[in-house]
Structure 1
């Protein structure tokens, strides 16, 4: 096979750099879409290309070559791929496929469990208030979803900040943010180099919800204050399962893409003017995905030509 097959394996190395740019310079809704789409496309393309490389090892095995009416000797002579590279690709694509299937199964179970839990919760206009002194608030995806808020959180925030909290959580449910997280994590599961994209999506969905709350309430400063107060109040509260809920604070861990944690960065973003859609970054992301798609299609064509040459045509 020729060199096109390697391009989708190299482009994921740009994930850390690209994720940082999109998170800090692009409007969060668009950034979330671009990051998630990039994770899915790059994850699928890299897995496909690993599979194509692995196929060149399979056709060199006499037993499989005979079943496919290929010439194993011709495959060894006509295919420029080193056998060691092809065998390594076979191991990697097998591991990626297994990890991807396990992740899909776990995520599907989590989403179904969350939907069942949400349907069983007694709610008023989608809101469930639980008697708990520990401050906490999160959204439970479902049909319909539920917003769960503890009395401790309500006591922590002022009356006007309750609307901000609800607007933030309703934004999570309305935009189906759990699906963005799931798809981004699927790409990162099959290709670990894409983990910065998935990690950044968990941040940009929170920024998306923050901006939606700011639009609803009309006061970015109040939203920043509410986010900061909630963060301080919940610093000792155990985090919920990421696969089942979407909390107002987002993932309670440091973001590896920046020195500051996600909450201070969100507060700083709310105190600054809103970010724009940044057409330059959008075009650059589109160019990377287009190159990935072209290279994958070219690699498939190269394999077709190889199979034709060794007798599959």
Structure 2
């Protein structure tokens, strides 16, 4: 059981590398879904593996052994390290749960503060223009029954031409339509479960911006215009330091890479050996981690049954 758990906890490291490699080969939408899905699956496998270790240690409590009609001497003799392992796993689970809860609360507080600030200004359709001094624009997710909004400051609008403004608004609307904030939030919270999963957050942020870039380019029908708008918005924007993966914006992320991509042809799903190898590698590593965690849970069940059989055999 402990060996399976150890392998399950090591699995996210190669899985993250495989996910990042595969994402670089896919169109932005598929890449974003792959990265977020891998983060959630690996976080679940990690949590299950740690829970199995905690469960194995709890069986060594005299009260638990008696309630389950298990032989405590047999449990102690077969798994002498179960209690220390359970303490370590329980600590890791508690730290991960606390970190995930803190991130959730922080994002909810950010959403609430932003909506309170935006509600003080008039809205036209899904657009709110703020009279701030700094150039900024972002997609504000819906909150408490209110639909999402595109929020733009007056200086940002002034920095762009009319057609560039169309690109900016289409980009932010693409974030809302694609519900990109949910993918970002899920990955950010899931990354609390395992340190390797933090390596998925930056690639996901990039591919979500690329996803919105491509939707905006398709909406205006001009990829070069979209590239120019992204570059100009990035030059005009100020770093607010308040997004935390929730308020997605056209002027964020590695802008030069995004501009280069927009100046090239529209992305398509590639064909070739590299794609097949990357996809197979990711699927294999993620599935392996999940199966190891499930297998360790099954072995815990067998462990309990063996301890009970010792009592029944007396």
Range moving further from structure 2, 174-183 or 213-222? 213-222
Question: For residues 54 and 82 of structure 1, do their structure 2 counterparts lie closer, same or farther at Cα, with a shift above 3 Å needed?
Answer: same
Show CA shifts across 1:136-170 (max 9, x none): 11111113111111121111111111110011000
Which of 246, 255, 272 is the equivalent residue of 1:263? 255
Mapped contact 2:55–2:86 kept (Cα < 8 A):
yes
Equivalent in the alignment of 1:293: 290
Kindly report which structure 2 residues correspond to 1:191-230, keeping only aligned pairs within 5 A, or say none.
Answer: 191-230=194-233
Equivalent in the alignment of 1:4: 4
Aligned partners of 2:303, 2:81: CA distance in 1, in Å?
11
- Corresponding residue SS for 2:192: helix
Deviation at 1:116, TM superposition (A): 6.5
Equivalent in the alignment of 2:103: 103
Equivalent in the alignment of 1:308: 305
From the CA coordinates, give the structure whose radius of gyration is larger.
2
Kindly report which structure 2 residues correspond to 1:13-52, keeping only aligned pairs within 5 A, or say none.
Answer: 13-52=13-52
Question: For residues 107 and 56 of structure 1, do their structure 2 counterparts lie closer, same or farther at Cα, with a shift above 3 Å needed?
Answer: same
Question: For residues 244 and 21 of structure 1, do their structure 2 counterparts lie closer, same or farther at Cα, with a shift above 3 Å needed?
Answer: closer
Equivalent in the alignment of 1:257: none
Runs of 5+ unmatched residues, structure 2: none
Mapped contact 1:135–1:237 kept (Cα < 8 A):
no
Aligned residues between the structures: 302
Which of 235, 244, 256 is the equivalent residue of 1:232? 235
- Corresponding residue SS for 1:246: coil
Equivalent in the alignment of 2:180: 177
Equivalent in the alignment of 2:251: 249
Question: For residues 277 and 75 of structure 1, do their structure 2 counterparts lie closer, same or farther at Cα, with a shift above 3 Å needed?
Answer: farther
Mapped contact 1:27–1:275 kept (Cα < 8 A):
yes
Mapped contact 1:54–1:86 kept (Cα < 8 A):
yes
Equivalent in the alignment of 2:134: 134
Aligned partners of 1:5, 1:60: CA distance in 2, in Å?
18
Question: For residues 90 and 175 of structure 1, do their structure 2 counterparts lie closer, same or farther at Cα, with a shift above 3 Å needed?
Answer: same
Equivalent in the alignment of 1:70: 70
Show CA shifts across 1:38-88 (max 9, x none): 111101111110110122222123243334433222112334866543432
Runs of 5+ unmatched residues, structure 1: 252-261
1:160 matched to 2:163? The reply is: yes
Mapped contact 2:185–2:246 kept (Cα < 8 A):
no
* RMSD between aligned residues: 2.5
Report the TM-score, using the length of structure 1 for normalisation: 0.86
Deviation at 1:243, TM superposition (A): 5.2
Mapped contact 1:99–1:189 kept (Cα < 8 A):
yes
Kindly report which structure 2 residues correspond to 1:111-126, keeping only aligned pairs within 5 A, or say none.
Answer: 111=111, 121-126=121-126
Range moving further from structure 2, 20-29 or 302-311? 20-29
Deviation at 1:245, TM superposition (A): 1.8
